[in-house]
Structure 1
């Protein structure tokens, strides 16, 4: 007969709880707030307790991996929030009109034309990023290292900024 009780047995908690302090110290070195570290540890323990395929011999590494991934998730969420707030903090109070939309479209068209002026690798990386690929994915597509793709992307952006600034300087 199968048990319908979703709670893990007490012996599972006896296996997991000795790791709590170590996991907290690990999370605390990676996160700035006490509460974020505590939340990550509690979530890791709960996931481990409810994971049906948990190997008792590998509890420590499993908990470490889950905790580290949860810390990364906290960083990603914080960064998304920061970017959202930054992007919207400079937004005008009123909606943009057709003039602003026309100017933005013209500027976008001009910028795409400038991308064609870029050198081979820089142009390829920028175009891959414009298609929505991340730096790692762009590097994989182009058969280059991630560092090479990051460097090409940084150089391309710097060139485009210089060209854009020069074009505005003549106005």
Structure 2
């Protein structure tokens, strides 16, 4: 198996090899730093590898400040992972009916299946109810949906409320009949 130095530079003593010799001693420290902030092993590994790659590719790297530079990159990548995870969690919770308490892969799979079932039920809706709910699923506001459909805001809000109530009834009926 090739090391990261060998992958990026096959000639010893080249600038790329020297750069990696400067960066790689920081790997374990960066791993510990990211592990304190992230829960998933793969997320931690991805952040550390990305930080090392960015530093290796950074043209104006100051050799005296490699440690703080790598720390800064790693912390920012951890924040990016957290923000991406939160954004995904909020979108799933808001648009596909995934409960906030989904903690394991089984619960997440069940919640995703329930969300897919619910999206199928949207196709049973008719007229303005379906159009408004589809617009809301896409992330538009009720006001924007009303403008797009050429109806009043009150009509769009009413259609949205009726559609949600109908979907709740169908969902409840499917749970009691199964």
Matches within 5 A, 1:31-50: 31-50=38-57
* Aligned equivalent of 1:94, options 116, 122, 125: 122
Q: How far apart, CA to CA, are the structure 2 residues paired with 1:78 and 1:56?
A: 33
Separation of aligned partners in 1, 2:127 and 2:153? 10
Match of 1:12 in 2: 19
Task: After TM superposition, give the deviation of residue 89 of structure 1 in Å.
Answer: 2.1
Residues 94 and 61 of structure 1, relative CA distance in 2, 3 Å threshold? same
Matched, 1:55 2:55: no
Aligned partner of 2:92 in structure 1 is 85
Q: Find the residue that maps to 1:30 and give its secondary structure.
A: coil
Normalised by the length of structure 2, the TM-score is 0.51
Shift of 1:31: 0.1
Task: Using the TM superposition, give the Cα deviation of residue 108 of structure 1 relative to its aligned residue in structure 2, in angstroms.
Answer: 8.0
Relative contact order, CA 8 A, sep 6+: which one is greater?
1
Query: Within 2, Cα distance between the matches of 1:36 and 1:104?
Result: 46
Superposition RMSD in Å:
2.7
The change in CA–CA distance for 1:48 and 1:104 in structure 2 (over 3 A counts) is farther
CA displacement, residues 42-77 of structure 1 (integer Å, 9 cap, x when unaligned): 000010001001000110110000000100111111
Which ranges of structure 2 fall in alignment gaps of 5 or more residues?
A: 1-7, 10-14, 98-117, 133-145, 158-178
Mapping for residues 95-134 of structure 1, pairs under 5 Å: 95=123, 96-100=125-129, 101=132, 105-106=153-154
How many residue pairs match? The answer is 105
- In 2, the alpha carbon distance for the partners of 1:25 and 1:74 equals 16
Structure 1 portions without partners, runs of 5+ = 1-5, 110-171
Q: Please give the TM-score of this superposition, normalised by the length of structure 1.
A: 0.53
Change (3 A) 1:104 1:69: farther
Q: Which residue matches 1:26?
A: 33
SS of the equivalent of 1:52 reads coil
